[in-house]
Structure 1
């Protein structure tokens, strides 16, 4: 009876735990899984209670069968869930395709937008060379531009079209200037060749002129036109010291203005005069030079004026020989010769009355004059006392006397004397 009751009870419980077919059709897979889980938990609880109570194993078989059925139901529900998941995935993929296509179109549009934005920014930031080009004014453009440029239509915008036409006109002008530049360069090249040939001719011209002058000397002497001699004399006159140049210019002006029967001649070393002129130029500009010769040096002893100190030795008076050796009477390399002819003679050149020689003493800054070729004493000289108290024995100014010292008289051995009228004639007034 117990077994029957237990079996009946078990059957009853199994019938209660077993799912009904109608409900399975109506229930969803998730509900089936929940119901099967509940049934499995109940069966496991019954099996544990049977083992604890040591009931017969026949009851366990029915429970195992019920558990297997629940497992089958679980697998069926799991399969249904997986199929439903695959169906949902397929639907999702089908719905995702248009979204991906739309997203791709959106990215393409965004890329195009960024490209256009960058292009617009580059156009806005572009700096043209047009502002730096100085275009001609509009009035000059309409007046001077060719008709082809003025009538051309490059853009629909009038202002932009006018600017482009002005730029084309600027390009046209620059091309014309380039052509003109090439033409002028060719002319310059040809002119440089002509100049080089003429320079070559001019460099050889002095030798030809020199030979021509030399060949024309007999003709000049025959005609009495001493052009070459005068030209050479004028070049030598440029090297004269200022006092002698004043005398030379006054005599030359007297001859040309009044037709005086006199002749001027400059004698001496031109090279030494050039050296002296360079030395004076260097001294005036403050440039140190080593061109001073021993003849131009001032070796005169300097005298110290010290009132507080006595000299142990008596003061030496330099003799005239020492003065001459010291270079005080050194004259300029060039001298002037004045020939005075007789106006009444038929041949003026043969009737020479007197010949005067002028020289300039450098250290004493005086002009000396004497009769060329005269052997008479200074007191019998015609130039002595030509003016009152002008014998030529004394130095004419104080600075020369200081240079000479106590020897106030001029050297009597010298035939050329420093007359006062000669200083006045040379422009040396004291």
Structure 2
């Protein structure tokens, strides 16, 4: 058509060709439209088929994603379970034999336990839990019992703490009954407590006299007199001295009589007489006595029916700390004729001469026992107090030196001393004291 128009063919033949070409173009265009419509329909069909095929693919893809998610979840859970540190490996479970023997029937009755280790472990853990619950119940019961016992102990402690006051009131209330019945238990207990503070010689003397009284119903009464506080203080000082914790305590006590009011000039002026002053001071310190002493009330052993025994004399026994001797005298008498009946109670025993070498060496060569003191260190008192000693010279040597008269005197002395060296020393001494006192009273 373009070529025809360019050529300018306007004849009827050209026009016929154009019309024929237009018809062909229209037919071709219609065919093109038809083909296009078929293509579009085919495209719609393919799209529809594609959409229909996409639905199961999407569903399958979704299922795949879900499965992958679940797979990852399970893998994490498995890893967490593998990494989890349980407490049961640290639990000391009972052995399987004990589990099957002691566990309740509901825990061990499953027949599959022996084949399934996991299930067996669970049941063992349940059995452990069951045991621990039982132990918790027992613990609660024991705690309650402990609380009750503590309350009971507290009540008893409270009662015990108040018991001394009740006992003291009971003792005080029982004193009239004891006096009426003649059973002075309270006084005896106090005397026994004081006896523990006595020095060893006085304690031996007290125990022997008390044993003689209780064994043979000897008509005597014993009493420990003195300051209890001073005796306790002295006992503590002696204990400290024995352990080496305190030195010079006894010396300071014995030197209390040393004059301290002199100044230095007076001491310098009296320097030539220093030894004499020291001897005088020591002489006063030698008579320092223990804070406690023993008083013995001696009664007449000749009893008449219906009358109480009369008191003959009260003897007071003291212990001299420096000389380590026991002295005796009539209680309440400062000297004089009241003490004369004790002199030579046994032959050659006047009480003026120190009885053993220890006292003589401690006192010094120039020491002379004061005859004005009421208490004297008789030899028989030392034997009674357990202080035994050897004579200064053997008897045969004294006999050869003194001659025939002295030998006879020595034999008499030994015969007299043999009396109180026998087993019944206390009885022999008390008999002699009663005999001497009765003779003295008869002379008066």
Shorter-chain TM-score category?
0.5 to 0.7
- Quote the residue 1:429 is aligned against: 388
Correspondent of 2:103 among 142, 145, 150: 145
Correspondent of 1:203 among 144, 161, 164: 161
Residue 179 (structure 2) pairs with residue 221 (structure 1): yes
- Quote the residue 1:84 is aligned against: none
Structure 1, unmatched stretches of 5+, are 1-100, 302-311
- Quote the residue 2:253 is aligned against: 296
Shift of the alpha carbon at 1:202?
A: 2.8
Q: What's the secondary structure of 2:295's corresponding residue?
A: strand
Residue 358 (structure 2) pairs with residue 390 (structure 1): no
Per-residue CA deviation, residues 302-332 of structure 1 (Å, 9 max, x unaligned), is xxxxxxxxxx96883468752354x332111
Correspondent of 1:184 among 138, 142, 151: 142
Q: What's the secondary structure of 1:382's corresponding residue?
A: helix
Q: What's the secondary structure of 2:224's corresponding residue?
A: strand
Aligned counterparts of 1:319 and 1:381: Cα–Cα separation in 2: 32
- Quote the residue 2:193 is aligned against: 235
After superposition, the Cα gap between the structure-2 partners of 1:258 and 1:130, relative to the gap in structure 1 and judged at 3 Å, is farther
Q: Please, what TM-score do these two structures have when normalized by structure 2?
A: 0.59
- Quote the residue 1:122 is aligned against: 83
Aligned counterparts of 1:297 and 1:240: Cα–Cα separation in 2: 19
After superposition, the Cα gap between the structure-2 partners of 1:118 and 1:201, relative to the gap in structure 1 and judged at 3 Å, is closer
Per-residue CA deviation, residues 85-139 of structure 1 (Å, 9 max, x unaligned), is xxxxxxxxxxxxxxxx9xx99x99998898589558636xx4x554544444555
- Quote the residue 1:353 is aligned against: 312
Alignment of 1:377-416 (within 5 A): 377=336, 381-416=340-375
Q: Does the 8 A contact of 2:237 with 2:246 survive in 1? A: no
Structure with the higher fraction of residues in helix conformation? 2
Shift of the alpha carbon at 1:217?
A: 1.8
Aligned counterparts of 1:258 and 1:247: Cα–Cα separation in 2: 16
Shift of the alpha carbon at 1:351?
A: 1.0
- Quote the residue 2:438 is aligned against: none
After superposition, the Cα gap between the structure-2 partners of 1:174 and 1:390, relative to the gap in structure 1 and judged at 3 Å, is farther
Aligned counterparts of 1:160 and 1:298: Cα–Cα separation in 2: 94
Query: Which has the larger Rg?
Result: 1
Aligned counterparts of 2:358 and 2:191: Cα–Cα separation in 1: 32
* Greater shift in the superposed pair: 132-141 or 152-161: 152-161
Correspondent of 2:331 among 361, 369, 372: 372
Q: Does the 8 A contact of 1:340 with 1:353 survive in 2? A: yes
Q: Does the 8 A contact of 1:328 with 1:363 survive in 2? A: yes
Shift of the alpha carbon at 1:335?
A: 0.9
- Quote the residue 2:291 is aligned against: 333
Q: Does the 8 A contact of 1:323 with 1:329 survive in 2? A: no
Q: What's the secondary structure of 2:275's corresponding residue?
A: coil
Shift of the alpha carbon at 1:256?
A: 1.7
After superposition, the Cα gap between the structure-2 partners of 1:177 and 1:115, relative to the gap in structure 1 and judged at 3 Å, is closer
After superposition, the Cα gap between the structure-2 partners of 1:169 and 1:200, relative to the gap in structure 1 and judged at 3 Å, is same
Shift of the alpha carbon at 1:336?
A: 0.8
- Quote the residue 2:378 is aligned against: 419
Shift of the alpha carbon at 1:286?
A: 4.2
Residues paired across the two proteins, number: 315
Correspondent of 1:246 among 195, 204, 215: 204
Alignment of 1:259-278 (within 5 A): 259-278=217-236
Q: What's the secondary structure of 1:343's corresponding residue?
A: coil
Aligned counterparts of 1:379 and 1:204: Cα–Cα separation in 2: 51
After superposition, the Cα gap between the structure-2 partners of 1:170 and 1:396, relative to the gap in structure 1 and judged at 3 Å, is farther
After superposition, the Cα gap between the structure-2 partners of 1:117 and 1:167, relative to the gap in structure 1 and judged at 3 Å, is closer
